[in-house]
Amino acid sequence: MIMDILTLFPAMFDGPLSESILKRAQERELLTVRRHDIRAYAPDKHHTTDDTPYGGGGGMVMMAGPLVAAIEDVRGADTSAPVILLTPQGRVFTQRVAAELAAHDRLILVCGRYEGVDERVRQAVVTDEISIGDYVLTGGELAAMIIVDAVARLIPGVLGARWGAEEDSHAMGLLEYPHYTRPPVFRGMAVPDVLLSGDHGAIARWRRREAIRRTWQRRPDMLLAADLSEDERWFLAELAEGDARAHE
């Protein structure tokens, strides 16, 4: 997978790309991240990339000229790769969107800055717009990093074989069950017996139920879309009934 990132601040990506799993994925050539400085496409001697908005008002707007030139140069003849503008106005990024993006062999991520981007950039070259949530960042760079991270770990081989992405919370439609490792007792708190039982069927059932319990407590909205068995639906009904009684 190739990810081309267009930004005014290429150095912002240094840290996240040079550690841990993203570093290893690049070393193993499962992932190629190329950063492109939009400023290099500004023709004037000051390399201007922003200007004041027509109609007045505060702030600056990223100019269409340098940005479209950068995108077209980076994209080249291959127009199949999505050109994704990172903006709070985009569709909201979720695990489902991450999986959708992971199916491409190339992504072009365009980091917006300042108060916005000239509307004609969208009209000319942008094919998708993504936001990472309902809050405002100073620019699209941190959002692009989050997309790189979430998509990279879905590329086959990036995570170890024993630690695939299939069972992730959100991919399953549930939050994760509680995890424990040594020691068996920490400050008087014991690991649940079932996890030490060696009974893999019982462990799997306990984990599913705890995932459902946690999702019910913290993100009940997610349960609408979760794929639950008949047995698990009964368990959920008991949880809901227990809460209803507690509120009587």
- The residues that are catalytic are 88, 115, 153, 168
Provide, rounded to whole angstroms, the least separation between the CB of residue 112 and ligand 6GU.
Answer: 6
Does 150 bind ligand 6GU (CB under 6 A)? Our answer is no
Nearer to ligand 6GU, 65 or 140 (CB): 140
Does position 143 interact with ligand 6GU (CB under 6 A)? The reply is yes
Q: What does R_g of the chain's alpha carbons equal in angstroms?
A: 23
Residue 100 exposed, middle or buried by CB count within 10 Å (0-12, 13-18, 19+): middle
Residue choice 139, 154, 216, 226 for contact with ligand 6GU (CB under 6 A): 139
Check binding of 133 to ligand 6GU (CB under 6 A). yes
Q: How far is the CB of 152 from ligand 6GU (least distance, A)?
A: 17
CB of 30 to ligand 6GU, least distance (A): 25
Q: Which two tokens stand for residue 67?
A: 């940005």
Inter-helix orientation angle 20-27/141-152, to 10°: 70
Least distance (Å) from ligand 6GU to the CB of residue 91? Answer: 10
Judged by CB under 6 A, the stretch of 14-22, 23-31, 80-88, 240-248 that binds ligand 6GU is: 80-88
d(C-alpha 50, C-alpha 185), whole Å? 59
- Angstrom CA distances, 7 to 18, 136, 143, 189, 200, stand at 18, 17, 12, 48, 49
Contact status: 7 vs ligand 6GU (CB under 6 A)? no
Q: Are strands 2-7 and 106-111 parallel, antiparallel or unpaired?
A: parallel
* Residue 87 contacts ligand 6GU per CB under 6 A: yes
Residue closer to ligand 6GU by CB (options 3, 195) is: 3
Angle between helices 200-218 and 230-246 (to 10 degrees): 50
Stated as kind and residue range, the H or E segment containing 130 is strand 128-131
How far is Cα 97 from Cα 150, in angstroms, rounded to an integer? 10
Alpha-carbon separation of residue 82 from 17, 18, 71, 231 (angstroms): 21, 25, 11, 42
Could you say whether residue 132 binds ligand 6GU (CB under 6 A)? yes
> Binders of ligand 6GU: how many residues, by CB under 6 A?
12
Beta bridge partners of 5: 35, 109
Nearer residue to ligand 6GU within complex by CB, 8 or 132:
132
Is 30 one of the binding residues for ligand 6GU (CB under 6 A)? no
Q: Is 109 in the site for ligand 6GU (CB under 6 A)?
A: no
Toward ligand 6GU, which CB reaches closer, 69 or 146? 146
Applying CB under 6 A, which of residues 30, 124, 137, 222 lies at the interface with ligand 6GU? Answer: 137
Whether the CA torsion 20, 135, 170, 127 is positive or negative: it is negative
Q: Rule CB under 6 A: which residues touch ligand 6GU?
A: 86-88, 131-133, 135-137, 139-140, 143
